[in-house]
Structure 1
């Protein structure tokens, strides 16, 4: 199971993509396009900010 947090660089829409595949196949999965503006989404590295415990 792979869970990716994606964000559109244009309209800033966030999507959580959950896929039931082996992690070794993650590089072969195409990143989806935004439903609103049809731009390829990018990984959202700030999605977990403020939720981590030290």
Structure 2
């Protein structure tokens, strides 16, 4: 199981992509395009950081 947090560079829309694939095959999976603006999405690095509690 692979979980990727993706973000569109144009419209800033975030998507969580969950795939049931072996991690060794992750490099062969195509990154989907944004549904709104049809540009290729990128990995969202900010989503990996933990949420701060007040």
Give me the TM-score of the superposition, normalised by structure 2.
0.90
Question: Structure 1: which 5+ residue stretches go unaligned?
Answer: none
CA RMSD of aligned residues (A): 2.5
Q: CA deviation at 1:5?
A: 0.1
1:1-54 CA-to-partner distances (Å, cap 9, x unmatched) read 000000000000000000000000000000000000000000000013243899
- Report the count of equivalent residues: 54
- Tell me which residue corresponds to 2:23: 23
- Of Structure 1 and Structure 2, the greater helix share is in 2
Give me the TM-score of the superposition, normalised by structure 1.
0.90
In structure 1, how many angstroms separate the alpha carbons of the residues matched to 2:7 and 2:40? 9
